[in-house]
Amino acid sequence: MEIRSLFMPLLLSVTLVACNKPPQMPQNTEQTDVSVAVAGDPAAALIEPGTDYHSFANPDEIKVTHLALDLEVDFARQILKGQASLQFVRMEEGASELVLDTRDLAIDSVTVEGKAVPYELGEKDPVLGSALTIQVPAEADVVTIDYQTSPDASGVQWLTPAQTAGKQHPFLFTQAQAIHARSFIPLQDSPQVRMTYQATIRTPQELLAVMSASNDPDTERDGEYHFNMPQPIPSYLIALAVGNLEFKSMGERTGVYAEPSVLEAAAQEFEDTEAMLMVTEKKFGHYRWDRYDLLILPPSFPFGGMENPRLSFITPTVIAGDKSLVSLIAHELAHSWSGNTVTNATWRDLWLNEGFTTYLTYRIMEMIYGEKREQMEFVLGMQSLESDIEALPEQDEVLAIDLRGRDPDEVFSDIPYEKGALFARELEQKVGREAFDRFLMQYFEHFAFQSITTDTFVQYLQDTLYKEHGDKLSWDRINQWIYEPGIPAGAPVAQSDAFARVDNARAMWLAGEIPAADIDTQDWNTHQWLYFLNNMPDELNKEQLTELDNAFSLTQVGNNEIAHSWLLMAINNWYTPAFDRLHNYLVSIGRNKLVKPLYKALSETPEGKAFAKKAFEEAKSGYHPLTVKANEDFVN
Ligand code: BES
Ligand code: ZN
């Protein structure tokens, strides 16, 4: 069988890629030739914008438009079993092969109107999985696949009762972004394919199923749940969770699902969600998804949050008791505009999703919590970006990144997020907030329910903002932001007065001018604590760490982000009094962003590595497959 993807040959060429600068955009509105040369090697293949190098599917020939799922959730065998019916349209007349993505699926049959049709499951690629090629009869426009998932499906985590808050019932959740939907549904797993979906999910009777679709909070708990997603969405936004879940309303259109013991705290922590929704739609256009609910997952959820439409999936590690980490909610909500309404067409274009979302997050935080808080979060974001840039190879500092031959899971950094947001902030500062807000609102409207490439965005920018404000913008500079590494000189600078006081206190303490206990930290918030710790010198001695710990009880701190910063300092300076907490932290949290830097720092010394290995072995069975994959190499 012919494998359409260019993935395999490109595995060889990836190390040659240094830069993927496109031709200069001419000053007209015609679509330009957008093939992108690979610097340094004229023979290397061009990147074709819009080609999804992470899917076997053939949407240019036959495109799936609707999915009907009927799945049974079998906790004993840790499988999903049932059928997926895919409705499709022919993009090329007479096209007769439908190519789908799968990973570790067992296919029982493929039928059209009850009659078996020929299909072939291709060889497994370690990153992409296996192509499923179906011969479709000329008159057919729906195929039905009977299948089951593997207990090791990369996009599904099965939790035992012991791994949940309530300890009584099992739990299941999916995480499809970037290319894991194919591990639980055979489909065209490419963000440029949008489909509506409906689903029937069969669960043990006492559990509730929720999906990234219409959820009825008052549905009867009878083990059979029905869902409908009437807007066309990309496959990475299909999501399912099953557990002992309850619902609490937070506002007219917002509410939270969680295990009973977490529900109240979550609803309080996130009570500003409705206000966030209202200010965002006022500025950037109406909310197109009906309800916006949150689902609080067990602590093994590998991300902070995931913007599954109508129902963002959220880590419980941000329930701090003081709303200090709720920018996560602003972020996932903002994806309802940038990401879910206007979607990246390929993973190269991820910065369109994450960069504009991060920009909107700052704006939402400013509108709800004020300028001071926004400034602090901006400074912390920039510091995190700078430290990423120090560590990244140049080709990974590019917004429109070349991901050919690579696993998108392994290329995760602040570049699409903070560099993308900084670019948006610069555009805002150049043309003025009012004009930029108008541009964004029109952008979401213009491309609503479409998946677009960087190149389409660039063309749109040229036809709109640049056309009106060409005197204030430079096209070379725009290209530099998108296609070159690093941060252009003269980019917006983050500054916070609230942090100046913290700098002062830190400097005086380091100089031995005041003891830690005399620093006036009474009114410090979480951001100030993070800034205080994150900007300590790399090396501190045992006396200094002991003094900080005695003065501020840092080893016992409840806030998971502050604890993370402190534990990282403890590892780097081998401050063992914090190591019980460290062990406990590593085995009870599975959010990769919080545990990976700790494992990494530990694995730099033999003693640290032994400690890491022990924690990892203990935690592994409770970690999500993504967290296992992201850490197992350097821990072992
Ligand atoms: N969509 C992302 C998570 C994601 C990105 C999963 C790429 C897989 C591939 C989500 O919106 C996100 O950005 N989460 C962040 C939130 C943070 C930046 C506020 C996270 O989980 O840390
Ligand atoms: Zn995001």
Q: Which one of 154, 295, 303, 364 would you pick to mutate in the ligand 1 pocket, going by the greatest count of ligand atoms within 8 A of its CB?
A: 303
- Ligand 1 atom, smallest distance to 331 CA: 19
Q: How far apart are the C-alpha atoms of 372 and 361, rounded to whole Å?
A: 14
According to DSSP H, which parts of 273-345 are helical? 273-284, 327-334
Q: Ligand 1 in contact with 417 (CB < 6 A)?
A: yes
- 468 contacts: CB under 8 Å, gap ≥ 6: 431, 435
Q: Ligand 1 in contact with 304 (CB < 6 A)?
A: yes
- DSSP, residue by residue, 519-535: S--TT--HHHHHHHHHT
- Ligand 1 atom, smallest distance to 328 CA: 19
Q: Ligand 1 in contact with 335 (CB < 6 A)?
A: yes
Ligand nearest to the CA of 413: 1
According to DSSP H, which parts of 180-326 are helical? 260-269, 273-284
Q: Give the pLDDT confidence of 47-78 residue by residue, as tens digits.
A: 999 999 999 999 999 999 999 999 999 999 99
Q: Which one of 311, 312, 324, 354 would you pick to mutate in the ligand 1 pocket, going by the greatest count of ligand atoms within 8 A of its CB?
A: 354
Q: Give the pLDDT confidence of 587-611 residue by residue, as tens digits.
A: 999 999 999 999 999 999 999 999 9
Answer yes or no: are the C-beta atoms of 148 and 597 closer than 8 Å.
Answer: no
pLDDT at 158: 98
Distance from Cα 361 to the centre of ligand 2, integer Å: 10
Of the residues 61, 259, 307, 332, which is catalytic? Answer: 332
Coil, helix or strand for 500? helix
Strand pairing report for 194-202 and 62-74? parallel
pLDDT at 44: 65
Protein residue with its CA nearest to atom 19 in ligand 1 = 328
Q: Ligand 1 in contact with 323 (CB < 6 A)?
A: no
DSSP state of 47: B
**Low-confidence stretches of the chain (pLDDT beneath 50):** 1-34, 38-40
Distance from Cα 523 to the centre of ligand 2, integer Å: 31
pLDDT at 7: 37
Chain centroid, CA 155 distance in Å = 13
pLDDT at 9: 34
Answer yes or no: are the C-beta atoms of 246 and 257 closer than 8 Å.
Answer: yes
Q: How far apart are the C-alpha atoms of 298 and 375, rounded to whole Å?
A: 31
Ligand nearest to the CA of 329: 1
Protein residue with its CA nearest to atom 14 in ligand 1 = 305
pLDDT at 42: 52
Residue 426 annotated among the catalytic residues of the structure: no
Instruction: Give, to the nearest 10 degrees, the angle between helix 371-391 and helix 497-510.
Output: 60
pLDDT at 216: 87
pLDDT at 116: 98
Burial of 580 (0-12, 13-18, 19+ CB in 10 A): exposed
Burial of 18 (0-12, 13-18, 19+ CB in 10 A): middle
Q: Ligand 1 in contact with 163 (CB < 6 A)?
A: no
**Ion ligand 2 contact residues with beta carbon within 5 A:** 354, 357
Residue 417 annotated among the catalytic residues of the structure: yes
Q: Ligand 1 in contact with 177 (CB < 6 A)?
A: yes
pLDDT at 304: 98
- The CA-atom distances, in angstroms, between 400 and each of 45, 336, 454, 459 are 16, 22, 7, 14
- Ligand 1 atom, smallest distance to 303 CA: 21
Q: Ligand 1 in contact with 364 (CB < 6 A)?
A: no
Q: How far apart are the C-alpha atoms of 70 and 202, rounded to whole Å?
A: 8
- The CA-atom distances, in angstroms, between 582 and each of 381, 590, 592, 629 are 24, 13, 15, 21
Ligand nearest to the CA of 302: 1
Q: Ligand 1 in contact with 122 (CB < 6 A)?
A: no
Unique residue bearing structure tokens 């780097």: 572
Q: Give the pLDDT confidence of 294-327 residue by residue, as tens digits.
A: 999 999 999 999 999 999 999 999 999 999 999 9
Protein residue with its CA nearest to atom 1 in ligand 1 = 306
Distance from Cα 307 to the centre of ligand 2, integer Å: 7
Q: How far apart are the C-alpha atoms of 412 and 58, rounded to whole Å?
A: 27
